[in-house]
Amino acid sequence: MSERRAPDWLTRYEYAHRGLHRADGSGPVPENSLAAAKGAIAAGMGIECDIQRSRDDHPMVFHDWDAARLTGEAGATDQRTASELEQLCLLGTDQHPFPLSAMLGLVAGQVPLLIEIKSRSGYDVVSTCVHVSRLLADYAGDHAVMSFDPRVARWFRRHAPQTLCGLVMREDEHGQTQKAWQRRLALWIAKPDFLAYHIAALPSRWVAGLRARGMPVLTWTVNSPETRARALIHADALIAEGAGLA
């Protein structure tokens, strides 16, 4: 656990998962789009967003390692330049992938940002940390970085300690922390300021113990009335979408 106390704003907000995105009669608003960010700001919600690094090392607000699901254009996200990514359209809309710098300019401190840095085996996540930290160095708004990769929180603790950092965890077959020793090792490496824990794994005696000792616990993805009710009991702040929104 981190020895510093997380600021109050972290748990004062509910966070729109990938922005306030939707697909309804008023027209689609895609995830991780500028329109979704604007919707969250208008609703007074914090924003959770994802970061992939472009081929020319720009942090881009985009979730997937491949562009196909979100744009219809197959190919690795990190093999396109920032300009090439910005020219793609998010499916069925006039929205485009955009750089983190544009998100920071839009939000400008109006609501807090949770910036999830994507990582996977063999990936140079440190390079992403460096480029994200350079953008955040002059950003005055409330913000935090987080990742499934415990090296992200460790890097920010050592090299950009002014930035709040969190560890994202899950226990199902898609995660890398299914076993108790893996969860404890990730926590020891990261020494995060907060956890962002998968709602499917709550309640958890281990997480409850950390929370009792002062670790703020956020939970994702709250997407139904049932998960919302559970999250309100077992976490300090919600990362929500769809039917899980208040």
Question: How would you write the pLDDT of the chain (246 residues) with one tens digit per residue?
Answer: 677 889 999 999 999 999 999 876 667 999 999 999 999 999 999 999 999 999 999 999 999 999 999 999 999 999 999 999 999 999 999 999 999 999 999 999 999 999 999 999 999 999 999 999 999 999 999 999 999 999 999 999 999 999 999 999 999 988 889 999 999 999 999 999 999 999 999 999 999 999 999 999 999 999 999 999 999 999 999 999 999 998
Name the amino acid, one letter, at 82. Answer: A
193 belongs to a structural domain: yes
Let me know if residue 240 belongs to a domain. Answer: yes
Give the pLDDT score at 204.
97
- Residue 1 domain-assigned? no
Residue 2 covered by a domain = no
What pLDDT, on the 0 to 100 scale, is given for residue 69?
97
Q: What pLDDT was estimated at residue 3?
A: 75
pLDDT at 162: 95
The pLDDT value recorded for residue 4 is 83
75 vs 2: CA distance, rounded Å: 38
End-to-end, the C-alpha distance of the chain in Å comes to: 30
DSSP assignment, residue 76?
B
Look at residue 25 in the predicted model and tell me its pLDDT.
60
Residue 222 near residue 206, CB atoms below 8 Å? no
- Kindly report the backbone phi and psi dihedral angles of residue 147, in degrees, each rounded to the nearest multiple of 5, phi listed first: -165, 155
Alpha helices in the chain (DSSP H): 9-12, 34-43, 68-71, 82-86, 100-107, 125-136, 150-159, 180-190, 205-212, 225-234
Q: Please give the structure tokens belonging to residue 20.
A: 């306030």
CATH of the domain at 61: 3.20.20.190
Indicate the number of domains in the chain. 1
In a domain, 128, yes or no: yes
Looking at residue 230, its amino acid is R
Number of other CB atoms surrounding residue 28 within 10 Å = 16
Bridging pattern class, strands 194-198 and 237-240: unpaired
CA-nearest of 62, 54, 181, 67 to 115 is: 62
Helix (H) / strand (E) containing 197: strand 194-198
Establish if 87 belongs to a structural domain: yes
Domain membership of residue 3 (yes or no) is: no
Helix (H, G, I), strand (E, B) or coil at 122: coil
Position 16 scores a pLDDT of 98
User: What's the rounded Cα separation, in Å, for the pair 118 and 49?
Assistant: 10
Residue 96 near residue 87 (C-beta atoms within 8 A)? yes
**The domain containing residue 160 runs over which residues?**
9-244
- For residue 27, is it within any domain? yes
> Which one-letter DSSP state was computed for residue 40?
H
